[in-house]
A = this chain, B = another copy of it.
Amino acid sequence: MEQPDRTDPGLAAVLHALGDPVRLDLVRRMAGNGECTCSPDGLGVPRSTLSNHWRILREAGITRTRRDGKARLMTLRRADLDTRFPGLLAAVLAENGRRTH
Contacts and interface: CB of A to CB of B under 8 A. Distances in A.
Copies of this chain in the oligomer: 2
Contact of A24 (B11, B17, B96): B11
A7 interface: yes
B96 A8 contact: yes
Q: How large is the interface on A (under 10, 10 to 19, 20 to 34, 35 or more residues)?
A: 35 or more
A34 to B, nearest CB: 18
A48 interface: no
A46 interface: no
Contacts of A13: 19
A4 interface: yes
A16 B24 contact: no
A8 B13 CA distance: 20
A92 B12 CA distance: 9
27 contacts: A4-B99, A4-B100, A6-B28, A7-B21, A8-B24, A8-B95, A8-B96, A9-B21, A12-B18, A12-B19, A12-B21, A12-B23, A12-B24, A15-B16, A15-B24, A16-B19, A16-B20, A17-B19, A18-B19, A19-B19, A86-B91, A87-B87, A87-B90, A87-B91, A88-B92, A88-B95, A90-B91
